[in-house]
Amino acid sequence: MLLPSFIVGSALALATTAAGSPCSPPNVVHKDIVIVGGGASGVYAAVRLREDFGKSIALIEKREILGGHVDSFTDPETGGNIEFGVQAFLDVGNATGFFDRLGVARRPFAAERLNSTYIDFETGKVLNFTLPPMADQLAAMNKFLQVIEPWERLLQPGYFDFPDPDEIPGDLLLPFGEFVTKHGIENAVPRIYSISGLGLGNITNEITMYVLQAFGGPNARVVVGRGRSFEPASGRNQDLYDAAARLLGSDVHYSSTIVDSHRTDSKVRVTVQDANTKINTTIIAKRLLVAIEPSRGRNIQPLDLDEDELNLFNKFRYTSRFAGVIDSKALAVNKSYVNLPANAAPNNYLSYPEVPFNARFDYLGTGHYFRVGVMGNHAVRDDNAKQLVQQSYETLLDAGDLVPGETDRNITWKAFSAHGPMYARVSREDIQAGFYKRLYEIQGRRSTWWTGAAWSAHIQTVLWKYDDVLIPKMLEGLE
């Protein structure tokens, strides 16, 4: 169903060259696929659709660079590189092939081993907390894998085969703390928490299947030596997405967001605005692929959502995650200061802070630079997150936990990044009422397809694998 406004709008725009002035019609571009969001899932889809499936594409990204949660920071003083967002790429699906085709050399990822001090950041009290012996951690992680591996295909790379409500394995819906106790895998939890579970706040209360989407089989297999993880050989994760940016060239619209859209069963029309030039461009495409979090409010509002879509998306709740690099001589080189509640000592592996909180100060291997990570809810903004870090820093300073003689109360921020909203999840009741079936039913409706972490796991390379499954479905019926 081709609306007359399409024809009129495009004919007019082609006849004029003076785009951008308030009264002239926008530029019009025709593409097979328009993709919104140049992070993990959007970039991978853009490359594959254009290069492997021969489709013309436009990729819309609101920032000046591609890569989403990747945060590579170059220290202006030393020229050294620091990663304070995404750390590692797990060897899932054809992840190595993606690096190879972009000409980005890989090396195995090795996490820094830091000497950790456990402190209750609310009070500054140093805790006599001890990790389980490594052998016990590994045994528990193996047990964890044994339990979850039969269910992995229900969750990853996406919810394509998620069971009907009465067939959902009960364990997947348990609070994670109960799941852990039931299977006696307490000794695996500190590692799960520190690697990625912390994005969910107090993970013991979280529904088990969401913990598995943040830390699942691929992560656990790396821990026990059955899987690999890697990073660019340069050590700079942004190099991967910069290489994709070079390949995609002018098919990417940077600093751009959708300001208006119209979606029909035969095509979509989206108008994007460049935040710098204010110039509007209208893209008419056969398919729309949405690769941003479907969070409520301004972000996806211009997507011309219908009632079904709004009802589904309004059920999601999110964690806001912030990351930053600070410079402080009061924090000791080579150290990690980890925030735990007092009752975690001496060996309670099921007690973690409640959001909002600053999870840690981790030495970054150069100068006096430390990585911080704040977990928040929807109410936490950039300023609150920075304040939380400042507060926890002062608490540690006043309690005498930091380097003796260093009294500087001010944190110097070298870099800061707001990653929220992320970890989209719904209630147990909604899952049991068939949420994921209904969510996947909107795939393809009005020429629109959906990718990204809300539809899959919160792992870069699992999202790439999800795209591999989605793309052929999305191209069905396209000549």
Ligand X SMILES: *[C@@H]1O[C@H](CO)[C@@H](O)[C@H](O)[C@H]1NC(C)=O
Ligand Y SMILES: Cc1cc2nc3c(=O)[nH]c(=O)nc-3n(C[C@H](O)[C@H](O)[C@H](O)COP(=O)(O)OP(=O)(O)OC[C@H]3O[C@@H](n4cnc5c(N)ncnc54)[C@H](O)[C@@H]3O)c2cc1C
Binding range to ligand X, per CB under 6 A, among 64-72, 182-190, 333-341, 446-454: 333-341
Q: Is 205 in the site for ligand X (CB under 6 A)?
A: yes
439 binds, among ligand X, ligand Y, none (CB under 5 to 8 A by kind): none
Amino acid at 82: I
Out of ligand X, ligand Y, none, which partner does residue 60 contact, by CB within 5 to 8 A per kind?
A: ligand Y
User: Would you say 101 or 381 has its CB closer to ligand X?
Assistant: 101
HSE (CB half, 13 Å, CA atoms) of 355?
Answer: 25
Which two tokens mark 377? 């809810």
Using CB under 6 A as the binding rule, the residues of this chain from 74 to 133 that contact ligand X are: 94, 97, 100-101, 115, 128, 130
Query: How far from the centroid of its chain's Cα atoms is residue 284's Cα?
Result: 28
Cβ(56)–Cβ(50) below 8 Å: yes
Look at phi and psi of residue 367 and say left if phi exceeds 0, alpha if psi is from -120 to 50, else beta: left
* Closest residue by Cα to residue 88 from 188, 195, 244, 191: 195
Token digits for 402? Answer: 């930091």
331/334 Cα distance (integer angstroms): 9
- Give, as ranges, the residues between 421 and 440 that touch ligand X (CB under 6 A): none
DSSP category for residue 152: H
Among 27, 194, 208, 460, binds ligand Y (CB under 6 A): 460
Stretch that binds ligand Y, among 40-48, 185-193, 335-343, 387-395 (CB under 6 A): 40-48
Question: Does 27 contact ligand X by CB under 6 A?
Answer: no
Dist. CA 113–CA 285, nearest whole Å: 49
The burial class, CB within 10 Å (0-12 / 13-18 / 19+), for 135 is exposed
Q: Which does 353 bind (CB under 5 to 8 A by kind): ligand Y, ligand X, none?
A: ligand X
Report the residue number, 117 or 417, with the smaller CB distance to ligand X: 117
273 binds ligand Y (CB under 6 A): no
Which residues inside 51-70 make contact with ligand Y, applying CB under 6 A? 60-63, 68-69
Q: Name the binder of 240 from ligand Y, ligand X, none, CB < 5-8 A by kind.
A: none
Quick one: 81 or 438, whose CB is closer to ligand X?
81
In angstroms, give the least distance from the CB of 163 to ligand X.
26
Residue 410 within binding range of ligand X, rule CB under 6 A: yes
Q: Which secondary structure element, helix H or strand E, spans residue 47, and what is its range?
A: helix 40-51
Residue 269: both structure tokens together: 């029309």
Here the tokens at position 224 are 């026990």
Structural element, H or E, at residue 10:
helix 4-14
Choice between 260 and 382, CB closer to ligand X = 260
> Which residues, 6 or more positions from 368, have their beta carbon under 8 angstroms from its beta carbon?
327, 328, 329, 331, 333
- Percent helix, strand, coil in the chain, to 5, is 35, 25, 40
22 binds ligand X (CB under 6 A): yes
- Enumerate binding residues for ligand X (CB under 6 A): 22, 26, 94, 97, 100-101, 115, 128, 130, 177, 202, 204-205, 259-260, 271, 273, 278, 280, 333-334, 341, 346-347, 351-354, 409-410
Residues of this chain that bind ligand Y (CB under 6 A): 36-42, 60-63, 68-69, 85-88, 90, 257, 291-292, 299, 321, 323, 419, 422, 452-453, 458-460, 463
